């Protein structure tokens, strides 16, 4: 060091037009710059660490898990599902390991013409490596990318609480979701889209298994000492199979759509309009009397609702007086609140209210075929406040509403039972 | 400090300052402060590059990879292994009834007014106000209503017939009339709408999210038991909230206005563990903890009691302090 400094000083003094010439032999600025610069080399630019799944810290904080409990869940998940670079498909899941390997891992190629790491390349920047909808770009997107972990999917052909079929997910990847940041991946080709769909199912099953395990800690008896039983009976039969079976049942749970009634289209639209404004379907209550989606703005979709409700609970827990608590309870209470605040700040996106669809824009996220409308109205939208009309409207009535909605972007008269006339800019 | 490029026009901190807009005209005499500022800015930028401005996130646990590999092997083999102490062995005979009363200590905080911004012609007709019903304390007796008590795992279940009449769950003037209700799995529930406007009743955790036209009702039969009570909402009127709990064995009760509850036909002569829940409880998952060590009341809101056959066992008054209930 001592030999180095004079050399440095002389070198710097040579560049007198660049550095300040001053009475001290060593410019403080130059010294600081050199030190900082060398530290940069020492600290920063190493190898990229391997990708790892991020645990569901919001649920872990909610369930007040201890670090060893979180570690147990992470270990079990690695045993049952592997890592982002090396996925495991247990036979009970019914997943195809070949497809998973194509989609998993860093982008790399072992065989000429075949590229692995599809999910990392195309999906993880929005959906996250864990499929938690919290990739690096997620916070900038409206709507947020899907969080697969609770296992809820919006746009599908099955009844409300059922999982989507394989075909439903392929459709979403092929068409993208119009009106959101989800693009179409049709150009990847069928095999790659299939592989990505399989990986999405894998991440969803993994996420649901994680949630079930974290919630199960509360169900443990005191004798279990806060550890989950690591037996096949518990992990496979109780945790994994209920999730996997719902996915396998999805293929048989597709909604049966009857034929459109043989009615003149104009008549059908008129009947649909009556139902839209009527008391049975109550469409205007959320979609607004102008159908611009301005009927309501204070509800949340299920993903945001979980965060919002817990955030409110944590808020009210902050205001609880700790006077009557013992010292232990007070410490526990404070620790819980500290973890909760950190989880909400670093592992959850800011909750956003959900806007009912503006039906005059002709932008339909779930698809714009007549049958897509039928599915949305019949089963509602899982994860969103949109309710099912199945028991309330007959299939014919649903078709009339479908026809009315399809005519809405072209309705120009402005006399729609609305209390104001329709102006072009209102449509947006 | 004085020697730091006060007169030098091309010195580095000054050039940084010009770039950053700290100093506008090159001909201006630089003050010591300006020079210091630029130097500090330069250093801080470099330091930030090195350390990064990471928010402190919760540290994630690292999975034990070796244990994971071992576990994977053991799961793949068909070795059975028990489900971990979930079987309850029956050691008693007969059936008994459990009763008790929950009492709120102190005066409850005032109920918050709900924001009603839809269908105000019906919901807030004639200046009516809607209030949050999560904490109902009886003025006369101090009883805490809407506490749910249910049996966790029982060794045997008495054969009881499912009630013929469906349980009525109604909503009127934009409020659910029963803030907390309990039912057996498989028991039909008549979800009614006694308002002149439409509602949709969304029972989270089930497949039921149904539009209910004005004046009509729909039957809902829960197919699975809930763990702790689950929320019931209306998406058209988001302030509406209720809770529902469904149990397979039907050993569940909701305290009445005076705080009392009764669960008949529980297995007698053996230890029965019951879970207690309240909507506003600060415990995990809403579990309500009380200070009653004679009942082994745990922090997870569970207590254990042995019932006498063909009789009524009364756990007495359970005092719930204001600190157990959030604001």
B18-64 pLDDT, tens digit each: 666 655 555 555 566 667 777 787 877 777 666 555 557 898 899 99
**Cβ contact (<8 Å) for A281 and B198?**
yes
Burial of A219 (0-12, 13-18, 19+ CB in 10 A): middle
DSSP A148-179: -TT---SS-SB-TTSPPPHHHHHHHHHH--TT
* % residues pLDDT > 90 (chain A): 68
CA B241, CA B181: separation in Å to the nearest integer?
A: 12
Note whether A223 contacts B: Cβ–Cβ < 8 A: yes
Is the ipTM here above 0.85? no
pLDDT of residue A198: 97
Select from A71, A160, A229 the Cβ nearest to the Cβ of B84. Answer: A229
pLDDT of residue B103: 93
Select from B3, B321, B326 the Cβ nearest to the Cβ of A22. Answer: B3
Residue of B nearest to A39 (CA): B50
**Cβ contact (<8 Å) for B326 and A316?**
yes
- Decide if A276 contacts A401 (C-beta within 8 A): yes
Residues of B in contact with A388 (CB under 8 A): 209-211
To the nearest whole angstrom, how far is the Cα of B104 from the nearest Cα of chain A? 14
CA A236, CA A251: separation in Å to the nearest integer?
A: 22
- Decide if A138 contacts A145 (C-beta within 8 A): yes
CA distances from B311 to A9, B92, B144, B234, B266 (A): 96, 14, 25, 42, 11
* % residues pLDDT > 70 (chain A): 85
Q: Which residue of B211, B227, B233, B285 to mutate against A (max A Cβ within 10 Å)?
A: B211
pLDDT of residue A18: 46
Q: Model-level pTM?
A: 0.84
- Decide if B148 contacts B261 (C-beta within 8 A): no
Of residues B105 and A199, more confidently modeled: A199
Question: A322 pLDDT band (50/70/90 cuts)?
Answer: confident
To the nearest whole angstrom, how far is the Cα of B136 from the nearest Cα of chain A? 17
In total, the C-beta contacts within 8 angstroms joining chain A to chain B are 232
- A380 has a pLDDT exceeding 90: yes
**Cβ contact (<8 Å) for B323 and A325?**
yes
Q: At what angle do helices A28-43 and B12-20 cross, to 10 degrees?
A: 70
Select from B81, B238, B298 the Cβ nearest to the Cβ of A232. Answer: B81
Q: How far is CA B41 from the centre of its chain?
A: 48
CA A359, CA A403: separation in Å to the nearest integer?
A: 12
**Cβ contact (<8 Å) for B68 and A76?**
yes
Residues of B in contact with A322 (CB under 8 A): 323
Q: Residue B194 CB: number of other CB atoms within 10 A?
A: 14
To the nearest whole angstrom, how far is the Cα of B173 from the nearest Cα of chain A? 15
To the nearest whole angstrom, how far is the Cα of B315 from the nearest Cα of chain A? 22
Residues of B in contact with A345 (CB under 8 A): 55
Q: Which residue of A232, A238, A325 to mutate against B (max B Cβ within 10 Å)?
A: A232
- Decide if A194 contacts A99 (C-beta within 8 A): yes
Residue of A nearest to B218 (CA): A391
- Decide if B69 contacts A76 (C-beta within 8 A): no
**Residue A392 host element (H or E):** none
**Residue B294 host element (H or E):** none
CA B22, CA B27: separation in Å to the nearest integer?
A: 14
Q: For strands A114-116 and B189-192, give the pairing.
A: unpaired
CA distances from A389 to A369, B77, B194, B209 (A): 18, 47, 19, 9
**Cβ contact (<8 Å) for A55 and B61?**
yes
CA distances from A280 to A260, A261, B232 (A): 20, 20, 20
Residues of A in contact with B132 (CB under 8 A): none
CA distances from A194 to A100, A101, A332, B57, B100 (A): 10, 12, 47, 35, 58
Task: Please enumerate in sequence order all residues whose Cβ is within 8 A of that of A317, keeping only pairs 6 or more positions apart, or say none.
Answer: A333, A336, A337, A340, B282, B326
* For residues A92-120, average pLDDT: 93
CA A22, CA A27: separation in Å to the nearest integer?
A: 7
pLDDT of residue A22: 47
Q: Which of A87-96, A177-186, A369-378, B314-323 has the lowest mean pLDDT?
A: B314-323
**Cβ contact (<8 Å) for A75 and B83?**
no
Residues of A in contact with B54 (CB under 8 A): none
Q: Which domains does chain B have, with CATH numbers?
A: 1-46 (no CATH), 95-324 (2.60.40.420)
Select from A316, A386, A391 the Cβ nearest to the Cβ of B327. Answer: A316
Q: How crowded is the C-beta side of A348, counted as CA atoms within 13 Å? A: 26
pLDDT of residue A425: 56
Select from B60, B71, B218 the Cβ nearest to the Cβ of A54. Answer: B60
Task: Please enumerate in sequence order all residues whose Cβ is within 8 A of that of A391, keeping only pairs 6 or more positions apart, or say none.
Answer: B210, B211, B218
**Spans in chain B with pLDDT lower than 70:** 1-34, 48-55, 78-88, 327
Residue of A nearest to B49 (CA): A40
Torsion angles phi and psi, residue B15, rounded to 5: -65, -40
Note whether A50 contacts B: Cβ–Cβ < 8 A: no
pLDDT of residue B37: 75
- A21 has a pLDDT exceeding 80: no
- Decide if B230 contacts A215 (C-beta within 8 A): no
CA B22, CA A202: separation in Å to the nearest integer?
A: 54
Task: Please enumerate in sequence order all residues whose Cβ is within 8 A of that of A46, keeping only pairs 6 or more positions apart, or say none.
Answer: none
Q: How far is CA A71 from the centre of its chain?
A: 23
Tens of pLDDT, residue by residue over A212-245, are 999 999 988 877 788 999 999 999 999 999 999 9
Note whether A57 contacts B: Cβ–Cβ < 8 A: yes
CA B99, CA B312: separation in Å to the nearest integer?
A: 7
Q: For strands B189-192 and B167-169, give the pairing.
A: parallel
**Cβ contact (<8 Å) for B211 and A387?**
yes
**Cβ contact (<8 Å) for A392 and B211?**
yes
**Residue A184 host element (H or E):** none
**Cβ contact (<8 Å) for B282 and A317?**
yes
Select from A29, A236, A302 the Cβ nearest to the Cβ of B12. Answer: A29
* For residues A73-101, average pLDDT: 95
pLDDT of residue A321: 77
């Amino acid at each position: 060091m001592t030999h180095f400094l004079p050399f440095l000083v002389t070198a710097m003094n040579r560049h007198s037009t660049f550095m300040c010439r001053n009475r001290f032999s060593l410019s403080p600025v130059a010294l600081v710059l050199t030190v900082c610069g060398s530290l940069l080399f020492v600290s920063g630019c190493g190898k990229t660490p391997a990708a790892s799944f991020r645990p569901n810290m919001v649920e872990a904080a909610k369930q007040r898990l201890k670090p060893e409990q979180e570690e147990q869940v992470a270990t079990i998940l690695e045993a049952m599902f592997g890592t982002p670079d090396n996925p495991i498909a247990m036979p009970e899941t019914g997943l195809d390991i070949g497809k998973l390997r194509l989609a998993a891992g860093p982008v790399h190629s072992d065989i000429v013409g075949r590229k692995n790491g599809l999910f990392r390349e195309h999906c993880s920047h929005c959906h996250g490596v864990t499929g938690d909808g919290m990739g690096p770009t997620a916070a900038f997107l409206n709507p947020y990318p899907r969080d697969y972990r609770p296992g809820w999917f919006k746009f599908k052909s099955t009844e409300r609480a059922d999982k989507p079929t394989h075909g439903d997910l392929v459709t979403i990847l092929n068409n993208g979701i119009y009106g959101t940041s989800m693009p179409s991946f049709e150009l990847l080709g069928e095999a790659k889209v299939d592989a990505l769909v399989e990986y999405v199912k894998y991440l969803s099953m993994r996420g649901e298994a994680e949630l079930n395990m974290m919630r199960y800690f509360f169900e443990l008896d005191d004798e279990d000492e806060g550890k989950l039983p690591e037996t096949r009976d518990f992990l496979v039969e109780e945790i994994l199979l209920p999730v996997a079976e719902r996915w396998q049942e999805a293929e048989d749970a597709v909604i049966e759509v009857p034929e459109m009634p043989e009615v003149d289209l104009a008549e059908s639209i008129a009947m649909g309009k009556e139902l839209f404004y009527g008391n049975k379907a109550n469409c205007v209550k959320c979609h607004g009397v102008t159908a611009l989606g301005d009927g309501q703005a204070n509800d949340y979709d299920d993903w945001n609702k979980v965060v919002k409700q817990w955030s409110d609970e944590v808020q009210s827990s902050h205001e609880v007086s700790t006077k009557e608590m013992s010292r232990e309870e007070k410490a526990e209470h404070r620790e819980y609140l500290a973890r909760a605040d950190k989880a909400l700040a670093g592992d959850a996106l800011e909750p956003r209210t959900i806007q009912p669809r503006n039906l005059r824009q002709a932008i339909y996220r779930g698809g714009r075929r007549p049958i897509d409308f039928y599915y949305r109205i019949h089963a509602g939208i899982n994860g969103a406040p949109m309710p099912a009309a199945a028991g309330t409207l007959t299939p014919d009535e649903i078709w009339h509403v479908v026809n009315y909605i399809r005519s809405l972007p072209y309705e120009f008269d402005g006399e729609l039972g609305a209390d104001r006339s329709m102006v072009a800019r209102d449509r947006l | 400090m004085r020697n730091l490029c006060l007169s030098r026009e091309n010195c580095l901190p000054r050039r940084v300052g010009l770039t950053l807009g700290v100093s506008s005209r090159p001909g201006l005499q630089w003050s010591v402060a300006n020079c210091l500022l630029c130097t500090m800015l330069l250093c801080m930028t470099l330091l930030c590059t090195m350390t990064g401005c990471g928010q402190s996130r919760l540290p994630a646990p690292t999975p034990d990879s070796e244990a994971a590999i071992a576990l994977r092997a053991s799961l793949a083999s068909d070795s059975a292994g028990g489900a971990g102490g979930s079987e309850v062995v029956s050691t008693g005979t007969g059936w008994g009834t459990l009763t008790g009363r929950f009492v709120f200590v102190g005066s409850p905080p005032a109920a918050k007014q709900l924001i009603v911004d839809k269908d105000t012609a019906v919901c807030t007709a004639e200046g009516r106000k809607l209030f949050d019903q999560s904490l109902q304390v009886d003025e006369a007796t101090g009883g805490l209503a809407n506490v749910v008590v249910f049996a966790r795992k029982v060794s045997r279940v008495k054969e009881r017939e499912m009630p013929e009449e469906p349980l009525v769950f109604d909503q009127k003037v934009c409020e659910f009339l029963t803030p907390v209700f309990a039912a057996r799995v498989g028991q039909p529930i008549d979800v009614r709408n006694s308002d002149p406007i439409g509602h949709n009743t969304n029972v989270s955790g089930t497949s039921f999210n149904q539009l209910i036209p004005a004046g009509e009702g729909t039957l809902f039969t829960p197919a699975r038991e809930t763990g702790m009570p689950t929320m019931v909402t209306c998406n058209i009127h988001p302030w509406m909230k209720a809770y529902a709990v469904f149990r397979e064995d039907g050993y569940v009760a909701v305290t009445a206005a005076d705080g009392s509850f009764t669960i008949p036909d529980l297995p007698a002569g053996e230890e029965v563990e019951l879970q207690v829940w309240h909507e506003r409880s600060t415990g995990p998952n809403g579990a309500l903890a009380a200070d009653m060590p004679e009942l082994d009341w745990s922090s997870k809101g569970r207590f254990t009691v042995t019932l006498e056959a063909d009789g009524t066992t009364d756990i007495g008054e359970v005092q719930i302090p204001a600190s157990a209930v959030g604001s």
